[in-house]
Chains A and B, each alone.
Chain A
Amino acid sequence: MLVQHVFIINRAGSLIYDWDGKSDCTGIEKTFSYPLDIVLDIVDQKVTVVFGERDGIGLRYTVSAINGIPVQACKIIFGGVEKMVLDVIQDEANYPLSIRFQPPTITTNEKIILSSTFHSLYTIAAQLSPVMKSSGIEVLYTNHFKLYCYQSTTGVKFVVVGSLSLNSGVDGLLRRIYELYADFALKNPFYSIDMPIRCQRFDDAIRNLIERQDKFSMLTI
């Protein structure tokens, strides 16, 4: 689908809502012989590929299972004993090994960190502007996705991360998300301003809106 993520960031830079398009997170399982030609290291408490892309296994992929046994952070129950995954992989007696790799995913904490980072980048882009009266970042282009941001006059940011083919109708989508935020969050008497939004109707409305965006690509507001 075109829209991959939706974030709502409050005026202090905290993430108050996030929506995920369910992308296929199929892992890749292969049987390896000694020595393993993929270089692994521990990054953020996960056993991660740092060198040696092949057979669809890319950089930053993480080890999720060995011989069908799930990996817990950096450790695994191997031969009845809890061991470090890297020790199991370096021991020749354990081979051949069937290792399952998972594409990189993003945790809730990482979403919170990234939202705060984007809040700062938005302000820096406005401050470093070479021309007068510039806003912050409105569109950010990378090789794999586009990030669209709309900041309301009250300072709440609505961020949509979409694929490269998401081109038209994003302004309308962002303003429509703003309308839904006003309808389902601000009009909720139990909702505290700047707190995370936990409202099933809001979730449903966002999902329906994005499904319509995928189908028709140009919203009639």
Chain B
Amino acid sequence: MAIFNFYLFNRDGTCVLYKEWKREKKAIMSMEQVVIQQVNSFETSQYKLNYLETPTGLKMVLNTDPNASGIPELMRSIYQAYVDGVIKNVLIESNAQSSNELFSNRLEQLIQKHPAF
């Protein structure tokens, strides 16, 4: 059971946030070019990529262990934290690269407290 890393993309496909916790293998290509649409998740032999897209085009990608449970609910909690920390902050251009400490800290809490971490 593990949660490896997290991507947040805006509707244009730009990566606005990337975090990793237990990543062992670094990617060769730029992570900002990853766009996956209309898929709930996919599994490989070693990890599972979970995907959430909101109707406004915000996309989240969370890579976990294939056996991790409760990930869809976790991703909805992350989206709720994003709304509270970023959307409701009038000083932030929400399409830009996110450096919001409130959201980052909340994200860290949600991930580290989750049983799948």
Judge whether B44 and A140 touch: CB under 8 Å: no
Q: Which residues of A contact B31 (CB under 8 A)?
A: 128
Q: Which of B25, B40, B41, B43 contacts A132 (CB 8 A)?
A: B25
B10 at the interface (CB under 8 A from A): no
In the complex, B29 has a CB within 8 A of chain A: yes
Q: Which of A127, A131, A140, A142 contacts B46 (CB 8 A)?
A: A131
A134 to B64, CA, bound (A): 13
User: Does chain A have a CB within 8 A of B76?
Assistant: no
Q: Looking at chain A's contact residues, is the secondary structure mostly helix, strand, loop, or mixed? A: loop
Contact with A along B31-67 (1 / 0, CB 8 A): 1001000111111111101000000000000010000
Q: Which residues of B contact A152 (CB under 8 A)?
A: none
Complex Cα gap A140–B40 (Å) = 8
B25 partner residues in chain A, CB cutoff 8 A = 129-132, 134
Q: Is the CB of B27 within 8 A of A128?
A: yes
Give Cα A43–Cα B24 distance, bound, in whole angstroms.
43
Q: Residue on A with the closest CB to B33?
A: A124
Asked if A130 and B42 make an inter-chain contact with CB atoms under 8 angstroms apart, the answer reads no
A159 to B: closest C-beta gap in Å:
13
* Contact yes or no, A134 B46, CB < 8 A: yes
Count of interface residues, chain A, beta-carbon cutoff 8 Å: 20
Indicate whether A134 sits within 8 Å of B5 (C-beta atoms), given known contacts A128-B31, A128-B34, A142-B38.
no
A124 to B25, CA, bound (A): 13
A185 to B28, CA, bound (A): 36
**Counting CB contacts under 8 A, is B79 at the interface?**
no
Please name all residues of chain A whose beta carbon is closer than 8 Å to the beta carbon of B42 when the two chains form the complex. 125, 137-141
Q: In chain B between 14 and 28, which residues have their CB closer than 8 angstroms to a CB of chain A? A: 20, 22-25, 27-28
**Shortest distance in angstroms between B12's beta carbon and chain A's nearest beta carbon?**
20
A142 to B53, CA, bound (A): 12
Contact of A126 among B5, B23, B38, B44 (CB under 8 A): B44
| 12 intermolecular pairs with C-beta atoms under 8 Å apart | A127-B29, A129-B46, A130-B22, A130-B63, A133-B45, A133-B46, A135-B44, A137-B43, A138-B43, A140-B42, A141-B42, A142-B38
Closest 8 CB pairs of A and B: A130-B4, A134-B46, A130-B23, A135-B45, A140-B42, A141-B40, A139-B43, A131-B46
